[in-house]
Amino acid sequence: MENEIKFVMSKEFEEKDFPQLLRFERFLLDHLELPLIAQLSDEFNFVRIDYRYNKIYRLLYCLRKAYLLARGTMNDASIFYKASLLRYAAYTTGFDMRRDTGECPLPSLKYALLSTSLLVDDLRGEL
């Protein structure tokens, strides 16, 4: 569901958004348990004021909270979650609307590829 929210539901991103998307995605990878949106540092003020990031963040906050409650105190919950994200992020790169193979415009595909790359690096460090 998280990847569906980031790559498919959020089609408003453009290539000029990638510096913020990169910071946003790195933050999401570093924090399986997300703080309340009001508790984000000033560096992430764009998440509070830009409806595109705000929408994603609020949905992911609820989704991850439910996941962590369901997983309980399992030590490797982060690895399982990130492995699931990696599977779908890589899969999403094939949903190219330019080739009639899906519903994702080019910026969404690039965001999925960015996420895939960050996840691979992150999981390599955890294993």
Q: What is the pTM of this model?
A: 0.81
Q: What residue segments make up the domains of the chain, in order of their start?
A: 2-126
Distance in angstroms (rounded) separating the CA atoms of residues 41 and 70: 28
Kindly give the residue spans of alpha helices, DSSP state H, lying in the chain.
2-3, 18-30, 45-49, 51-71, 77-92, 106-126
Give, for all 127 residues of the chain, the pLDDT tens digit.
999 899 887 788 999 999 999 999 999 999 999 999 999 999 999 999 999 999 999 999 999 998 888 877 666 778 888 999 999 999 999 999 999 998 899 999 999 999 999 999 999 987 6
Distance in angstroms (rounded) separating the CA atoms of residues 58 and 63: 9
Under 8 Å CB-to-CB from 67, ≥6 apart: which residues?
77, 81
